[in-house]
Amino acid sequence: MADEAHGAAEAAAPGMPQLDFSTFSNQIFWLVIAIVAIYLILSRVALPRIGAVLAERNGTITNDIAAAEDLKRQAAEAEDAYNKALADARAEAQAIAAEVREEIKADLADATAKADADISAKAAESAARIEEVRAGALEAVEAVAKDTAAEIVAALAPAAADESAIAAAVTNRVKG
């Protein structure tokens, strides 16, 4: 080191070490080495690595969001399907209910018709029987009248007691 440099350093050293020019070359030399070292480390190793990690994370996040969207869509689809199934089931239930109702109505109508038929059949039967009874009664009345007439005729005029004639006469009378 030159003596002049030391002379200058002498004045400054006790006061401001920052102005001690004799140390400048040393500081600058090591500073340049440090800066170049940091620059190389950062530009070669650290920054590409961090950039890659960040890009990868962005990719992952994008993928995850896409996956989430997909799942959401699937969930919506499932819900739609569920709603559709529910509506179908409801419609079916309504259809079944309607069918059952129709069936019951038909059964009821059948039963009513049957009952009606029964009733009318019975009524007809009853009417027939009444007619029969009435006919029977008329016949009985005719028979009684014939018998009575025959008896009367036999009692009044035994000679004239022709049964067939009397019967025809009575029948005529009854009918007329």
Partner 1 sequence: MSEDAHSEETVDAHGAEAAHGADAGHAADAAHGAEGGLQIHPMDQFIVEPLFGDGGIGMFSITNVTLWLFLAVIAVVLLMVVGTRGRAIVPSRAQSVAELTYGFIRKMVEDVAGKDALVFFPYIMTLFLFILMANFLGLLPMSFTTTSHIAVTAVLAMAVFLTVTAVGFIKNGVGFLGLFWVSSAPMALRPILAIIELISYFVRPVSHSIRLAGNVMAGHAVIKVFAGFAGVLGLGAVAPVIAITAVYGLEVLVAFIQAYVFTILTCVYLKDALHPSH
Partner 2 sequence: MEGDLAHIGAGLAAIGSGAAAIGVGHVAGNFLSGALRNPSAAAGQTATLFIGIAFAEALGIFAFLVALLLMFAV
Residues in contact with partner 2 by CB under 8 A are: 11-12, 14-16, 19
* Cβ-based burial of 167 (10 A; exposed 0-12, middle 13-18, buried ≥19): middle
What are the helix and strand counts (H, E) for the chain? 4, 0
C-alpha gyration radius of the chain:
66
Closer CB to partner 2, residue 14 or residue 158?
14
Residues 7, 130: Cα–Cα separation, whole Å: 163
Closer CB to partner 2, residue 14 or residue 176?
14
> Per CB under 8 A, which region of 51-59, 85-93, 151-159, 164-172 contacts partner 1?
51-59
169 interface partner picked from partner 2, partner 1, none, CB below 5 to 8 A per type: none
49 interface partner picked from partner 1, partner 2, none, CB below 5 to 8 A per type: partner 1
Q: Does 6 bind partner 1 (CB under 8 A)?
A: yes
- Tally of CB atoms within 10 A around 59: 10
Q: Shortest approach of partner 2 to residue 71 CB, angstroms?
A: 34
